Structure 1
Amino acid sequence: MRQRLGSQMDFSTPEGEPALLPPTSMSWRIFKNPVALFIGGVTAVLLELAEPRVRDAIWQHSTFRSHALRRLQRTGLAALVTVYGPRTKAKAMIEGVVRMHGRVSGRTSEGEPYHATDPELLDWVQATAGFGFMEAYHVYVHRLHFFERDAMFAEARPVALLYGAAGSPTSQAELYALFDAMRQRLVASPIVLEFLEIMEDVPALPGVAQPLQRPFLKAAVEILPRWVRKRLALGDRWTLTPWEHAFVKTTAAICESIVLPSSPAVQSCRRLGLSESYLYRRR
């Protein structure tokens, strides 16, 4: 969520080069809001860590424990490049991610083999990311109609294919069907709680916004499907108080109305010759 995410890359060039998704897409609208991006990203990771093969592929092959902030910044930047970045840079980044996945394999702590290029795991990661960002925006920023939710999954199909997720959901109905299919595979793990503990301490937000970090984490837990939250044993400690819920929604609303010239969303609008306020107009 830190603004320096956008400063790691100039999204305003090359002039006129389109992104993988058009400015009219739901993703452009949702990803401009840093609150939805932060909360939705945490929700997605929680769902990923609930699946043992994805969990250990992440935990055994990443620097999250030792360099959590750097890993968060890299992941956040990758999400922004996928949505807003010029097509050539976005494709090059995705190709690098795919190559990296090809080197990730092993066995879970339960002894089950995994490989990061497994189509089932790629589909799950794409689905959980879509769900997390969409649900965070829907609950804390602006309610989305069913056709808008379907549109977000459908428009992401070409991007999912670039990542190798050929069977990722293309509608909300397909998302729910995937959740049902994966229901018996999702389990609690000390890693889930360790992830949340790390996220409580890592300086992911600017100093002035640090008090928001724990409520944002609670907000991410709250939008998990109820049965997932119960299965992961995420109890009352991760429940928003009424004032925290109101605080999260107010912060998200403020972020929805402030046009920051340095943000990837606004830079990308300039790259395509659009007004800086294009994504902030009332619809």
Structure 2
Amino acid sequence: MPPRQAPFKNPLSLFIGGVTAVIMELAEPRVRTGVWEHTSFRLNPIRRLHSTGLAAMVTIYGSRTTAEAMIARVRRIHDRVAGVTSSGEAYCANDPDLLNWVHGTAAYGFVQAYHTYVRQLSASERDRCYAEGVPAARLFGATGAPESEAELETLFHATAGRLDRSAIVLEFLEIMRSAPILPLPLRPAQHLLVSAAVDLVPGWMQALLGLTGHGLHSWEAETVRQAGALADRLVMETNPAVQACRRMRLPADYLYVHRSAVGARP
């Protein structure tokens, strides 16, 4: 399959990678203020996560016309998200620099979660994941979205001096641990998956945010990897990856069997 589709068909790595991405996004004070003051995340985290996840799924598995219409709606909403941080710095959600950070950290979270907890991707496969996400990122307004791991590292280096510690990050993690996000039978594992997400945050950023020691024990990491491998074999009709296969008149398990197949996005 095209490498970028792999992380998004696996619900376990999708959850972990999404939490990792938000941790890193919230390290940037302008992004953090915009998210915390202009969205319903604190009051209704499940609804917010659902809408964010739906946007990602449409971008990857939806038709071009559906994805472009959705992105245009998001852009219009972002036009109204603007303000000033507690330190007096102005921000706007459609600022290309902020969008580059959001897109880069999201791509990192999803790719690293799949690579670490499901199936190892080669360096070239990881680079393809980043490169394949660039066209959609540009539609969102992220004109400098990283196209490779090397470019991602450059983005991290360029942004590191702007990042800072905030109690909001810890509040976000507590919400993710306690909100009834996963189905009831899986809810005892939710705390474990949040810790798995923390582990994926680069070590220097964990230290900056005060997250050192919030990750997994070695035996817990192995448990998450086993669960990730199992989830990668589950073909569920409700999964957008399966629905995309159906729309393209392919077998439901096409993206689960043809791991090396390369083609256009459905």
Q: Same fold (TM over 0.5)?
A: yes
CA deviation after TM superposition for structure 1 residue 273, in Å:
1.5
Indicate yes or no: 2:62 matched with 1:85.
yes
Counterpart CA distance in 2 for 1:44 and 1:79 is 13
Q: Which residue of 2 aligns with 1:279?
A: 255
Indicate yes or no: 2:239 matched with 1:263.
yes
Root-mean-square deviation (CA), in Å?
1.0
Q: Which residue of 2 aligns with 1:149?
A: 126
CA deviation after TM superposition for structure 1 residue 262, in Å:
2.2
* 2:36 maps to which of 37, 59, 68: 59
Indicate yes or no: 2:88 matched with 1:111.
yes
Counterpart CA distance in 2 for 1:239 and 1:172 is 23
Runs of 4+ in 1 over 2 A off after TM superposition: none
CA deviation after TM superposition for structure 1 residue 85, in Å:
1.1
Counterpart CA distance in 2 for 1:242 and 1:110 is 39
CA deviation after TM superposition for structure 1 residue 87, in Å:
1.6
Counterpart CA distance in 2 for 1:84 and 1:150 is 20
CA deviation after TM superposition for structure 1 residue 279, in Å:
1.1
Question: How many pairs does the alignment contain?
Answer: 259
Segments of 5+ residues of structure 2 without an aligned counterpart are 261-266
2:253 alignment partner AA? S
Counterpart CA distance in 2 for 1:102 and 1:205 is 32
Indicate yes or no: 2:27 matched with 1:50.
yes
Contact 2:245 2:252 in 1 (8 A): yes
1:96 alignment partner AA? R
Give the fraction of aligned pairs with identical amino acids, expressed as a percent: 51
1:128-170 CA-partner distances (Å, limit 9, x unpaired): 1100000000100011111001111111111011101111111
Counterpart CA distance in 2 for 1:144 and 1:263 is 22
* Mapping of residues 177-192 of structure 1, within 5 Å: 177-192=154-169
Q: Which residue of 2 aligns with 1:25?
A: 2
Q: TM-score, normalised by structure 1?
A: 0.89
1:57 alignment partner AA? G
1:257 alignment partner AA? R
Contact 2:4 2:130 in 1 (8 A): no
Q: Which residue of 2 aligns with 1:248?
A: 224
Contact 2:4 2:128 in 1 (8 A): no
Indicate yes or no: 2:136 matched with 1:159.
yes
CA deviation after TM superposition for structure 1 residue 239, in Å:
2.0
1:43-79 CA-partner distances (Å, limit 9, x unpaired): 0000100000000010010111111111111111111
2:187 alignment partner AA? Q
Counterpart CA distance in 1 for 2:90 and 2:128 is 35
CA deviation after TM superposition for structure 1 residue 242, in Å:
2.6
CA deviation after TM superposition for structure 1 residue 115, in Å:
0.8
Segments of 5+ residues of structure 1 without an aligned counterpart are 1-23
SS in 2 for 1:211: helix
1:60 alignment partner AA? E
1:171-229 CA-partner distances (Å, limit 9, x unpaired): 11100001000111111101000100111111110000001101100000001111000
Q: TM-score, normalised by structure 2?
A: 0.95
Counterpart CA distance in 1 for 2:202 and 2:217 is 18
Counterpart CA distance in 2 for 1:114 and 1:148 is 34
